[in-house]
Structure 1
Amino acid sequence: MTKPVFLLVASFPDSLIKFRGPLIEALLAAGCRVHVGVPGLDADSDIASRLSELGVEVHDIPLQRTGLNPLKDLSALLSLRRLMRRIGADYVLGYTIKPVIYGSLAAWVAGVRRRFALITGLGYAFTGEATGLRKVLRTLIQQLYRFSLSRNHLVFFQNPDDEALFRQLGLLKPAIPSRVVNGSGVDVSEYAVSPLPESAVFLLIARLLGDKGVREYAEAAALVKARYPDAVFRLVGWIDDNPDAISQAELDAWVEAGTIEFLGKLSDVRPAIVDCSVYVLPSYREGTPRTVLEAMAMSRAVITTDAPGCRETVVNGVNGFLVPVQDVSALEDSMIKLIENPDQVAAMGERSRQIAEEKYDVHRVNAVMLREMGLK
């Protein structure tokens, strides 16, 4: 019997192992021949080597993760269509904005028999006030979503708010089914429980964007350190090629003031989580934040926002605190509560681990996806 050919379309090579590695392994275990289409993957990189070891065939595609050049996007669409026809794709799944839009359209034109999309978050065009460039982007992306998603057999979402918004805006037609899954999941054996440090150490891991709440984190950190000078605030990430990125000058100012310890971009965030007592993500909106799941699996209390995608991870007062979006005062208060109540930090961390095991185990999440795609 011929194995079905499954093509996964991505925009960022680093996500393939970190976020989709277990899904790729589950697809292989289900008897699929797995191909990946992604731009900018170095053939000599560790990611390429690991995919090759798994038996995954990797294809370079001319897809720009950011930018609005219609000719380049058309080139990506045509390249994806050629790829799908050449490999005889039976299933296609795209995730993040451009792979969803152009992967869905290419699969439809190529006649791929089973077409899926995974909405992992809404990004810059959907967050913040819709003015200027953001308004233009929002209108364009919504139109592209509306047209491309109607070509899918099923659309996955990572939180119910995003699903409801797409339905409300008419981006997903009533005839197209959808399914909410618990994020990308986390390997609870890989992200193991670790003891807490003796002192108060806060950590944020994110692309350094305004919409991730990085500025609110730095502002709250300065306020807390004025009262508790020994509290430590660490930041892991990088300045992204995004209109909403913070500036290098801002980051330098936080570091020079002694407010933030900047650890840069880490290929493995586990040591940073081990060294923290509380994980903080003041994001304006997420699909389901993977870094929060990793911190929860490693038994850390979490402070995050009462925002789509984030609110699903925390039971307020049980495994952490939910604060309003952009509310620096509430963020400061939550941090101080945990500094002043270290026993609560430990209890919340234990509950985080339980929730990670019960709700966000990556193997459970992937089993749902494979079943919904007719592969299990």
Structure 2
Amino acid sequence: MKIAVIGGYGPSLINFRGSMLCAMKAAGHEVYGIAPMDSPEVPEKLAAMGIKYIEVPIQRKGMNPIKDLTALLSLIRILKKIKPDAILSYTIKPVIYGSVAAKLAGIKNIYSMITGLGYAFGQTSGKRGLLFKLVKNMYRAGLACNDTVMFQNPDDRDLFKKFSIIPQSKPTVVTNGSGVDLEHYTSSLVPAGSPVFLCVSRLLKEKGVREFGESSLLLKKKYPQCQFRLVGPHDHGPDSISDDLITKWQDSGVECAGPVDDVRAELKNCSVYVLPSYREGTPRSVLEAMATGRPIVTTDTTGCRETVREGQNGFMVPVKDISALEKAMEKFILQPELLQKMGDASLEYVAEKFDVNKVNATILKAMRL
């Protein structure tokens, strides 16, 4: 079969969907990766994997009607030209416009993967509620074209049915996230010495970065020997952390390291991985930390709760609760014997449920490949 996979960010075809594309290729299918260029390395890397790349002008941020219409028309032209037997879209704009384009192009087998709901679903009333209503209706129109909709966690699936974004009768599959490559993210012993707490995230409020920074400040005053590292890009926007707050954290001993090309060294050098996000699909960074053999502190919320067996491989805390987060992190300082024990439990759990090969098999089965 000829398969087209549509994404909203070029490098994600490699970093997040590379193993899936390779699994499709290994099953004997002709595979196309369709996404914005974003990086000049994308076509070359995909070609090395045996994947054909096609550029499409999808803008990830903003809702410019003219640019979005251009993206839709471009997708229709591309799909009419290559005539795939099936398409799989992921992230919001590819799901909406890719699904509609596929229907208009006469593609028979249309699938989407909901990888997280993001800013638009953070609030359903007030000013942000208007954005929620708009995105909800756009999702409804796009997903109406789909044969099967895939979700990374059951909560998002149930939410889409609750708000009638998809009908109760629509076939759905829960994939357990995007999975993690256990050969790429290998395990190691938790480092000896005082604990190092790590959060890898874009510096956004809804990722729980503020809660991580503030709880780290409190713990740094009590336990100056411990390290607290925040690693990730600082994208400015309505949900971003202010420059002043980042400066405050740095001046008080929280290390804000900025983005890194490869997080594996950061994961191996940390003792505990922390992600106090408000909502996720399934947080890839947590799975990578689990594969490295690290205990987890995260929030009892959609997507995140799927990654922790409470008291076995880590702890969950309520969303936006700095005090609870501080206490959960402090447990590892007061009871260092938990570090390796829970790290080993993380590795066992991730191999059982989130191995990328198992996830890819679920996706290919859902697409009848």
Q: Report the TM range for the smaller structure's normalisation.
A: over 0.9
Aligned counterparts of 1:334 and 1:196: Cα–Cα separation in 2: 18
Aligned counterparts of 2:12 and 2:332: Cα–Cα separation in 1: 32
Q: 2:104 corresponds to which residue?
A: 109
Q: 1:315 corresponds to which residue?
A: 309
| Structure 1 stretch displaced more, 15-24 or 297-306 | 15-24
Aligned counterparts of 1:342 and 1:192: Cα–Cα separation in 2: 22
Say whether residues 1:92 and 2:96 are aligned partners.
Answer: no
Matches within 5 A, 1:198-347: 198=192, 199-240=194-235, 242-258=237-253, 260-347=254-341
Give the drift of 1:128.
4.2
1:357 alignment partner, one of 346, 351, 359: 351
SS at match of 1:311: helix
Matched AA of 2:307: T
Aligned counterparts of 1:180 and 1:315: Cα–Cα separation in 2: 19
Q: Quick check: 1:41–1:48 contact (8 Å CA) kept in 2?
A: no
Give the drift of 1:39.
1.1
Give the drift of 1:240.
2.4
Q: 1:74 corresponds to which residue?
A: 69
Change (3 A) 1:242 1:95: farther
Q: 2:122 corresponds to which residue?
A: 127
Cα deviations across residues 73-125 of structure 1 (Å, max 9, x unaligned)?
A: 11101100100011111111111111111111111111111100000000001
SS at match of 1:211: helix
| Structure 1 stretch displaced more, 177-186 or 8-17 | 8-17
Q: How many residues are paired up?
A: 368
Aligned counterparts of 2:101 and 2:124: Cα–Cα separation in 1: 32
Aligned counterparts of 1:129 and 1:146: Cα–Cα separation in 2: 16
SS at match of 2:187: coil
Give the drift of 1:241.
5.1
Aligned counterparts of 1:15 and 1:109: Cα–Cα separation in 2: 26
SS at match of 1:229: coil
TM normalised by structure 1 equals 0.96
Q: Quick check: 1:207–1:238 contact (8 Å CA) kept in 2?
A: yes
Cα deviations across residues 261-311 of structure 1 (Å, max 9, x unaligned)?
A: 122111210000001000000000000000000000111000000000000
Q: Percent identity?
A: 48
Say whether residues 1:196 and 2:190 are aligned partners.
Answer: yes
Cα deviations across residues 214-238 of structure 1 (Å, max 9, x unaligned)?
A: 0000000011111111111101111
RMSD, aligned α-carbons: 1.2
Say whether residues 1:13 and 2:10 are aligned partners.
Answer: yes
Q: Quick check: 1:66–1:242 contact (8 Å CA) kept in 2?
A: no
Q: 1:39 corresponds to which residue?
A: 36
Aligned counterparts of 2:55 and 2:245: Cα–Cα separation in 1: 35
2:44 alignment partner, one of 18, 36, 49: 49
Change (3 A) 1:15 1:242: farther
Give the drift of 1:243.
2.3
SS at match of 2:54: strand
| Structure 1 stretch displaced more, 315-324 or 197-206 | 197-206
Aligned counterparts of 1:14 and 1:23: Cα–Cα separation in 2: 14
Give the drift of 1:355.
0.4
Aligned counterparts of 2:124 and 2:85: Cα–Cα separation in 1: 40
Q: Quick check: 1:303–1:322 contact (8 Å CA) kept in 2?
A: yes
Cα deviations across residues 49-95 of structure 1 (Å, max 9, x unaligned)?
A: 22111121111111110111111111101100100011111111111
Cα deviations across residues 286-338 of structure 1 (Å, max 9, x unaligned)?
A: 00000000000111000000000000100111000000000000000011111
5+ residue gaps, structure 2, are none
Q: Quick check: 1:239–1:247 contact (8 Å CA) kept in 2?
A: no
Aligned counterparts of 1:188 and 1:7: Cα–Cα separation in 2: 26
SS at match of 1:347: helix
TM normalised by structure 2 equals 0.97
SS at match of 1:190: coil
Runs of at least 4 residues of structure 1 off by over 6 A? Answer: none
5+ residue gaps, structure 1, are none
Give the drift of 1:129.
6.3
Q: 2:146 corresponds to which residue?
A: 152
2:166 alignment partner, one of 167, 172, 178: 172
